[in-house]
Structure 1
Amino acid sequence: MLFNVLTTLVCAAVASASVLKSRQGPQLVTRCTVPNTVALTFDDGPYIYLNEIVDTLDAAGAKGTFFFNGCIYDPANRARIKYAYDHGHQVASHTWAHRDLTSLSWDQIHDEMWRVEQALARITGATPAFMRPPYGNYNNLVLDASRARGQSVVYWDFDSEDSAGASVQRSRQLYDQATSTHPPTILTLNHETYQTTAREVLPYAIQRLKAAGYRLVSLADCVGQSPYQSVVGAGTPDSTPDVVNGPKNTHEDSEEE
């Protein structure tokens, strides 16, 4: 009897330790941790400027990180995602339909995350280790769901304000201010859905950041972690209509803050 009681207590302790362990480790990323690095990140794609952004980054020897929504299975968007991934840039989750995760149930949150993870794994073979919640909104339920899925939630400490309607001059000014104060690291928020970001702000930002001596790296490199949970051979799109068709790109009415 005593042996059974002791065994039960030991098992309970082990289980509790396992739960505690699963709740430890990097979960919420709000800044880079590797000194002298900048992570240029882009939300709300894939969009028509993605390849152009990739080419600009490549020309500068820089790496970007792209947080994708669910308008993925369209052939043109699959090709864009592959283009970024094959050029060594990081791909990550921005959830499927760009919904405010704090307004959803546990199952709905998982569904929003799972759909994009599945799509990226099928297109690139890589399962993302990072997720940026739409609008930057998260709560404990979102953090717990992301942790259960093996992902860190990503925020930012610099906003180019492109989604808030900032002019090219304003976004450039913000990059000027950042480089002049020269913090140890910068984790940026940009959106690939704006022509001005791709063609006028990004080239300027790269020039200013490199002149300030920063290394322009992926999000994973700026926090010293792996970008993916696993990398296997790419698959094929699901033929289920509600998955293949997916939501339309909603960047015009569902931008970040």
Structure 2
Amino acid sequence: MRFSTITTLITAAFGLVAAAPVEEPPVQKRAPAAVYSNCVNPNTVALTFDDGPYQYLYDIAGVLWENGVNKATFFFNGNNWGCIYTAANKAAVKWIYDNGFQVASHTWSHSDLSTLNWDQLHDQFWRVEQALQRITGATPAFMRPPYGSYNNLVREVAGARGQGIVLWNLDSGDSAGISVAAQKQRYTDIANQHPSSIIALNHETYASTVWEVLPHAITTLRNAGYSFVTVAECLGLPAYQSVGAPQTGSWTC
């Protein structure tokens, strides 16, 4: 006998009113998600930061502002380096959003999405979407698959959830552990090559990214004639599927 049937019988026998289960809203069938690794607007660069919220979040924003940049995109996990629902992390995510930076999904637990089935993928997407909705009121229109790993099933799930998949055409190399000098050189090299646009992959979790690489990247790219935008702006698309009021509550991972 199914659990739901047992619950119905028990509640009927004792005259109780059963609480409605909390479930993920149904998703509609849509076309597979588009995959982006370049901007459509020329001479733009979208600086992106993965794997947060983390302790350097405020520092990254400070360095951006100190260098005259007020646009960047943060791809947040729900429970990777830490739970997004801690008081400190909720405050940080809300602060980033309120200050005009774009927030987007990096999935719940940073799993390799290409190894997951349909239900597991929806869980990875839904849980971080729900967290961002609760904290900021916004439903993200973009996601980045951990490790850049995706397949057709991931595209189908992202499409069903109304999200575009964002990759990059410049990897700073911070997560691979390359030297600060080598990371800086990557920014110098791409500025010299001068592609029409750049989506740059960085991570929130490295102090050297914040204090050493980021100032160099900004100066180098600005001197090459690029302007700094969010991912949504570089693609000419809305950053969010919907925007509403944030919620108050106590949630756990």
Query: Which TM-score band (shorter chain)?
Result: 0.7 to 0.9
Question: 94, 98, 101: which one pairs with 1:82?
Answer: 94
Contact 1:123 1:237 (8 Å CA) reproduced: no
Between stretches 50-59 and 109-118, larger displacement belongs to 50-59
Deviation at 1:237, TM superposition (A): 4.1
Q: Give the residue type in structure 2 aligned to 1:50.
A: L
Q: Does 1:108 align with 2:109?
A: no
Residue in 2 that maps onto 1:250 = none
Deviation at 1:238, TM superposition (A): 5.1
Residue in 2 that maps onto 1:40 = 47
Q: Write the distance in 2 (CA, Å) between the matches of 1:150 and 1:238.
A: 27
Q: Does 1:29 align with 2:41?
A: no
TM-align CA RMSD: 1.4
The TM-score, its normalising length taken from structure 2, stands at 0.84
Where do 5+ consecutive residues of structure 1 fail to align? 1-17, 247-257
Q: Give the residue type in structure 2 aligned to 1:29.
A: Y
In the TM superposition, what are the counterparts of 1:171-182 in structure 2 within 5 Å?
171-182=183-194
Q: Write the distance in 2 (CA, Å) between the matches of 1:94 and 1:183.
A: 26
Question: 60, 64, 69: which one pairs with 2:72?
Answer: 64
Q: Write the distance in 1 (CA, Å) between the matches of 2:155 and 2:110.
A: 17
Matched position secondary structure for 2:97: helix
Q: Does 1:138 align with 2:150?
A: yes
Residue in 1 that maps onto 2:212 = 200
Deviation at 1:236, TM superposition (A): 2.4
Question: 183, 199, 202: which one pairs with 1:187?
Answer: 199
Deviation at 1:31, TM superposition (A): 1.0
Q: Write the distance in 1 (CA, Å) between the matches of 2:249 and 2:236.
A: 31
Question: 171, 176, 179: which one pairs with 1:167?
Answer: 179
Q: Give the residue type in structure 2 aligned to 1:154.
A: V
The TM-score, its normalising length taken from structure 1, stands at 0.83
- Matched-pair identity in %: 56
Q: Give the residue type in structure 1 aligned to 2:175.
A: S
Contact 2:70 2:100 (8 Å CA) reproduced: no
Q: Write the distance in 2 (CA, Å) between the matches of 1:212 and 1:62.
A: 18
Matched position secondary structure for 1:42: strand
Q: Write the distance in 2 (CA, Å) between the matches of 1:82 and 1:98.
A: 21
Contact 1:73 1:237 (8 Å CA) reproduced: no
* More helix, by proportion: 1
Q: Write the distance in 2 (CA, Å) between the matches of 1:130 and 1:238.
A: 26
List structure 1 segments (4+ residues) > 3 angstroms apart after TM superposition.
none
Q: Write the distance in 2 (CA, Å) between the matches of 1:63 and 1:171.
A: 21
In the TM superposition, what are the counterparts of 1:197-236 in structure 2 within 5 Å?
197-236=209-248
Contact 1:171 1:201 (8 Å CA) reproduced: yes
Q: Deviations over 1:92-119 (max 9, x none)?
A: 0000011111111101100000000000
Aligned length: 221
In the TM superposition, what are the counterparts of 1:144-163 in structure 2 within 5 Å?
144-163=156-175
Q: Write the distance in 1 (CA, Å) between the matches of 2:150 and 2:205.
A: 23
